[in-house]
Amino acid sequence: MRVSAFAAAVVLGCLAAGCGSTHNVDVTTTVVSRPLPSAIGDQRIYGQIKSVTPTGGHYLLRIDPAWFLNGITANVAQAEDQHRTCAPAACPPVPDDFYIVDESHRTLTYVLPWSTTGTVLVSSSERRTITARQLAALVNHTSPLKLFEPLQSGMWLLVHIDTVRTFAQQYVP
């Protein structure tokens, strides 16, 4: 008996696809779990520190938060603030590759433990680690430490829920 090439292809395709029969296939899938960028409750906050005052066994740090924006986000925000419209990828670039948006001047209060340390700029390329006490002195203008630029350049806080874990002064050209 002769089988046409077409019929042979149909039979082979049917066999390959399992036509007319059932079969179980066990598939093992490995899922790689990646850690979240930060733990639940962790935040990075940028803004202007308004005060650092001692109370009990820690300080209370008050900050006026703002958004430190880069890239298309910064370009579009600047255009909107200037009442210009542009396609996001076509908005003119912001100067110095960043744009700060401070929607309000409401301050937020965080706990700053005595043991917290962070960094400030003492030259254009050198950071110095300081303590919470030294930060309080800088904010209160009682520190002998000379900074490369004033704290008004802004500070980054790494906060866990309501407690500052570390801080870092932002360089602004």
12: left (phi over 0), alpha (psi -120 to 50) or beta: alpha
Query: Exposed/middle/buried for 18, CB within 10 Å: 0-12, 13-18, 19+?
Result: exposed
pLDDT of residue 127 exceeding 70: yes
**Do 132 and 143 contact (CB within 8 A), yes or no?**
no
How confident is the model over 70-111, as pLDDT tens digits? Answer: 999 999 999 999 999 999 999 999 998 899 999 898 999 999
Residue 82 CA to its chain's centroid (Å): 25
Task: Count Cα atoms within 13 angstroms, Cβ side, for 6.
Answer: 0
How confident is the model over 22-80, as pLDDT tens digits? Answer: 556 565 544 544 444 556 889 999 999 999 999 999 999 999 999 999 999 999 999 99
pLDDT of residue 135 exceeding 70: yes
How high is the pLDDT of residue 87?
92
Collapsed DSSP state (helix, strand, coil) of residue 80: helix
Q: Once rounded to an integer, what is the mean pLDDT over residues 109-133?
A: 96
Does the reported pTM lie above 0.85?
Answer: no
**DSSP letter assigned to residue 40:** T
How high is the pLDDT of residue 124?
86
In angstroms, the first-to-last Cα distance of the chain is 86
pLDDT of residue 6 exceeding 60: no
How high is the pLDDT of residue 35?
47
